[in-house]
Structure 1
Amino acid sequence: MTSCILLALKRLASLSVLGVLFWNLGFLLQSSHIPAGGASTRDKPLSILIWDLPFNHNLNLSGHICATGRHHKEGCLLTSNRSWLDQADVVAFHHRELQRNRSRLPRAKKKPGQNWVWVSLESPTNTKDLAGWNGTFNWVMTYRQDSDIFIPYGVLVPHLSDKVDIPKKSHLVCWVISNYHRTQKRAELYRELSRHIKIDVYGKASKKPLCPACLLPTISQYKFYLAFENSIHQDYITEKLWRNALLAGTIPVVMGPPRANYEQLIPGEAFIHVEDFGSMQELATFLLTMNDSHYQSFFSWRHRYTVKLYDNWQERFCTICDRYPSLLCGKVYPSLEDWFQNERSGLPGGP
């Protein structure tokens, strides 16, 4: 029995002379749920329909995918077969495909208690056409920590190690960039910093494209990596930090949300923030004059943690299975645009 039914019982409790009976029954049902990370007591698997596969990726959603491989979530089924619309418990809509094929959205929910999830990993700056979805979605699934279903680009997981191996360094600073626009903040900072220090630039926007298998081995040769986000938003901390820098074994020089926001996810001594310096000349001097002992200290976190990337869409969608028992059924976002564009006032370092 799902949390939707629990909510209904609680509402009945406030209206009926049998309120105490209903409340106690609801409490007993709630106590029968396994906490997040396991499956709830259900007669059949939780079914999740992926309306459009993100970026047309072939996810090979064959049966109980969340109970196999590295997902290990029993009682949860993913499918992209739209004929399941009338029986799916949850329907997930990835925004990129949604905004391109708006007419293909189902007219209404086909099953009582069915919940619709809006999914996106893009920042508000790069997300368009939100105004037309008022009152459409029950839950949001994004990189924001205040999402109903939080899907970060990466996390640090506990991992004790006596020895930390740092890749051998032969170069100083590099940047990998696919889409370069001169008006972006990151482009402005790069131009200013490059006046004071040599920066090797790779990627589609440069004359040095990298094959996927070449990315990490190339970056690992550098002491510092410019993990500059394409836009600055609450919690918008992408693979530029997690994969390109931390996983590659180099020190990230970050440009994105304030330092305090980064420190909610990684230790403060694991990165350098551009806002720690009064100018790009000061930052360049800091990078050029750092001694070996100071450099090694930026890797102390690796004695306690290791990097886990969330770059697999199967795994991301299986996160719904974990969160489902604790999600509020019947909730609706009156304005998706208001929620996504108006970030929380408590953004670290903000007003």
Structure 2
Amino acid sequence: MIPFAVPLTGDEQGGGSQLPRLRKISKGKLDLQARYLTIGAILLFFVPTFALLTCQIFLQASSLRQETTLGPHVSLRVSYTGHAHLALPNPSPEDDTDYPDITHTKDAPQGLVSPENTTTAITISVMTPQQFVSGFSGSIPECLWRGHSLGCEYVVPRNDPFLHMRSEAVFYHGPNLCLEYHQNKTRVVKSTRKQLAVLLTMESAAYYPCFDDPVFMQAFDLEISYRREAQLPIGYLRKDHIEGWRHDALVSFEKRSDSPVYVQSNCRAQTKRDSIVRYLMTFPDLKIRSFGRCLNTEGQVNGTTESKIDIYRRHKICLVMENSIATDYVTEKLYDAFVAGCVPVYYGAPNVEDLLPDPDSIIDCRAFGSTAALRKEILRVSGNRAVWESKVAWRKRRLGQLSPAFQAQVLALTKPSVQCQLCSMLADYRAGNTSLVQQFRDGWDYRSEEQKQLESRQFLLSNFFGY
């Protein structure tokens, strides 16, 4: 069989001459495909990365807007006392250490500062700016770190995530964040692993349970608070308190009223202090006088020009009761009484003796098992000049003759401001010192069990007052 044959044209017969051109076309197509694949691979890698980064920046900005526009809350007033962990010798009658000059202390000895030693500035993002007085904004002058000038700046990032990202720490007002944590599940916002989260609070856990909540507290690395185990303890003792009892003339025993005085305008305290005072008022021989809105007996709550200290100066004994029971939580109420020379009947911190200038400087409610016994002690002090004067005698002693813990509180007032101290701590951390973060963990764990139990036992003390 003759196979079917198709005649070839001249071009087809000379097809061999077209092979190089076909190879060139095929190679060009392959090169173009390779380029497309390369570009596609690049886009496949970079587009998701860029999208992820954009998303993170957007979320970061959203979080910052939420954190910095939470609305007004109660303004925080901080007494900048500084660190209270000072090793001091036991006082003795021969110790003549006098009070340091605290009226003109500065943050930096000027002789140590030189331009060539200037350290890179520390930047701190204030995440709850509506809570702070002016001292927590802008550049803080005259801060030192290891003898060198240290730039210290508090910024409000708001909608600028890049400003937040370059900060060494994020700074939170604890009570404000605690409220938002329970209401809106608001949490601490960090941009990098190197950033530290700083909690500042002058309020007790009795009102803000977050401060005893491990889930809430584990987000933080440093604590600034009245608690003495905090990395930066700050208290309610102020420089003007010290100047008051050192230089103000003590009103004599004879010029003071025998009636105990109560000045309080927050009538819903968790400690039910009004109930305690109301019960004491049932003893007619005490003749308790109340000048505040709570249990007022004197009128002129809003019209009087007298300060609480002025009122205290006219009385031998004043009822000083905290709004909550918490270890180390000793507020300005006690120090106001010390300035006025009014012997305080104190109800509050279970370890108040650790913070007193002298153990005999107060009438401690814990020492009495009944209101009858407390009434008897009040009458004894107010009716005997020698006894009353023995309780205010500490005012005439030198600092070295007072308790070590009280000396530590006073000497802490000579330190730089709390803003500078925080910047110095962060500079230490940046230089490789991570011990403070570990100290926070250990210190908080210690308090959460033993100290809470002690506070609970102290709260039960109120039972003997009859409510």
Give the structure-2-normalised TM-score: 0.54
What is the CA–CA distance in structure 2 between the aligned matches of 1:264 and 1:320, rounded to whole Å? Answer: 24
| Residue-pair matches, total | 308
Comparing 102-111 with 216-225, which one deviates more in the overlay?
102-111
Query: How far, CA to CA, are the matches of 2:226 and 2:269 in structure 1?
Result: 26
2:371 match = 280
- The answer on whether the counterparts of 1:277 and 1:283 sit within 8 Å (CA) in structure 2 is yes
Matching of residue 189 in structure 1 with residue 273 in structure 2: no
State the Cα RMSD in Å.
4.5
Contact in 2 for aligned 1:261/1:347 (Cα 8 Å): no
Q: Quote the sequence identity (%).
A: 20
Offset at residue 337 of structure 1 (A): 9.2
Residues 89-238 of structure 1: pairs in structure 2 closer than 5 A: 89-102=168-181, 108-111=189-192, 113-129=194-210, 131=213, 133=216, 135-154=218-237, 165-168=249-252, 169-171=255-257, 172-181=259-268, 184-196=271-283, 197-207=286-296, 208=299, 209=301, 214-238=307-331
Q: Deviations over 1:232-257 (max 9, x none)?
A: 221111111123x1123311111123
Deviations 1:69-116 (A, max 9, x none): xxxx95252424225422222322112221344569676423553211
* Structure whose alpha-carbon radius of gyration is higher: 2
1:77 maps onto 2:77 in alignment:
no
Aligned partner (choices 269, 274, 286) of residue 360 of structure 2: 269
From the superposition, tell whether residues 333 and 158 of structure 1 become closer, same or farther in structure 2 (CA, over 3 Å): closer
Shift of 1:287: 2.3
Q: Report the residue type matching 2:171 in the other structure.
A: A
**Contact 1:49 / 1:85 at 8 angstroms: preserved in 2?**
yes
Change in Cα spacing, 1:154 to 1:321, as seen in structure 2 (3 Å) is: farther
The structure whose residues are more often helix, as a share, is 2
Q: Contact 1:224/1:253 (CA < 8 Å) preserved in 2?
A: yes
Going from structure 1 to structure 2, the CA distance change for 1:194 and 1:66 (only over 3 Å counts) comes to: farther
Equivalent residue, structure 2, for 1:47: 123
Does the Cα contact within 8 Å between 1:88 and 1:111 map onto a contact in 2?
A: no
Amino acid at match of 2:120: K
Query: C-alpha deviations, 1:160-191, integer Å up to 9, x for none?
Result: x9988313543231112222248734233212
For residue 264 of structure 1, report the CA deviation from its aligned partner: 4.0
CA contact (8 A) 1:48 1:88 kept: yes
Instruction: Give the letter aligned to residue 153 of structure 1.
Output: Y
Q: Please list every run of 5 or more consecutive structure 2 residues that lacks an aligned counterpart in the other structure.
A: 1-85, 87-106, 400-406, 459-467
**C-alpha distance in structure 2 between counterparts of 1:225 and 1:113, whole Å:** 49
Summarize the alignment of residues 25-64 of structure 1 with structure 2, pairs less than 5 Å apart: 43-53=119-129, 55=131, 57-59=133-135, 61-64=137-140
Q: Is the 8 A contact 2:168 2:196 kept in 1?
A: yes
Name whichever structure is richer in strand by fraction. 1
Identify if the C-alpha distance between structure 1 residues 302 and 250 changes in structure 2 by more than 3 Å, giving closer, same or farther: same
